[in-house]
Amino acid sequence: MSFPNIPDVTAKISVTVGQTIPLLLASIAFEELALAHIMNAEAEKIQFVLGTLEPSRPLASTSDTPTVTISNILDINRSVNQTLQTVIKKEMLLQFKLENILENISVLVPTTPPTPPSETCQCSVSFNVPANSPFTETLDGNPSVSGTGQLGKNPGSSARVMICQQCDPTEADLFFFEFTPNSGAAPINFEATSFTPTAAGTLGTCCSDNGVLRFTISGTGLRTENGIETAVGFTLVLEGKSVTLTLNGNEVFAGTVPGQGNIHINSCGGFNPPSCS
């Protein structure tokens, strides 16, 4: 039984944590290979004594061969027995080693999280809300605060915001919202800093409410009041001429787009908006 060709193994150690698992498994394989050679040698020892190993040697004594007695055969059998017992003990240790490696695979090789689905668009949306548009603010269900609002692409501007322009999810403008209470209280500003794709990988969702498309998109941004900035989550809903911006789930700004502003929502090709109900 010949020994296989083994690639060069150097003493230099430069492996990552993830590479240790195959190296440990390879070490078990090398040890198993060595044990296989030992067992093969023991088998050839018995074959030689019995005369079944080529070239064969007879049991009977001749002028050039020694005499092999029953006592000799029993001695060989005991020797092989002792060797195989040692091999079995080594096999048990290798089994423990393998079990330990398998138990620690999840620790040494962290599971790669699944790749999130690529973003797509259900609808192409463009909108702007000019300054002095009527808005109300409702916080935690308290009585509404009347005021005016402006929503656009840039601070202090009602420049048109485009999301999924030409149904391309990479063409998505962030937006700014400014609310000024009629009571003279400090204005509230909000800047959207990122959009959050849905679980299905869409940038916002579209549905139909009696033939009128409703667009909803969520994300994160910064709310500023009296110079204090607070990171919040948001949900923006556009439908017809109405705009609803909810911050942190408990502060709702609701407004109507006047004649000089508008909201355009068009479903992307192949998408049939479901009913909003």
pLDDT digits (tens, 9 = 90+) for 132-181: 899 999 998 888 999 999 999 888 777 889 999 889 888 889 999 999 99
Q: Which residue would you say has higher pLDDT here, 12 or 147?
A: 147
Q: Which of 1-15, 16-30, 108-122 has the highest mean pLDDT?
A: 16-30
CB atoms within 10 A of CB 202: 20
Q: Which residue would you say has higher pLDDT here, 22 or 226?
A: 226
Q: Which residue would you say has higher pLDDT here, 64 or 114?
A: 114
pLDDT score at 64:
56
Contact 84, 42 (CB under 8 A): yes
Give Cα 106 distance to the centre of its chain.
15
Q: Say whether pLDDT at 188 is over 80.
A: yes
pLDDT score at 105:
74
Contact 190, 177 (CB under 8 A): yes
Contact 123, 267 (CB under 8 A): yes
* Integer Cα distance of 123 and 177 in angstroms: 22
Contact 138, 251 (CB under 8 A): yes
pLDDT-derived band at 116 (thresholds 50, 70, 90) equals: low
Q: Say whether pLDDT at 59 is over 60.
A: no
If you average pLDDT over residues 112-141, what whole number do you get?
A: 84
Strand pairing partners for 212? 209
Summarised one tens digit per residue, pLDDT across range 214-267 is: 999 999 999 999 999 999 999 999 998 899 999 999 999 999 887 766 889 999
Query: pTM for this one?
Result: 0.58
Token pair of 263 as six digits: 């909201």
pLDDT score at 36:
93
For the chain, domain boundaries:
17-108, 123-267
pLDDT score at 45:
87
Q: Say whether pLDDT at 61 is over 70.
A: no
* Integer Cα distance of 214 and 205 in angstroms: 8
Averaged pLDDT score across all residues of the chain: 85
**Eight-state DSSP code of residue 144:** P
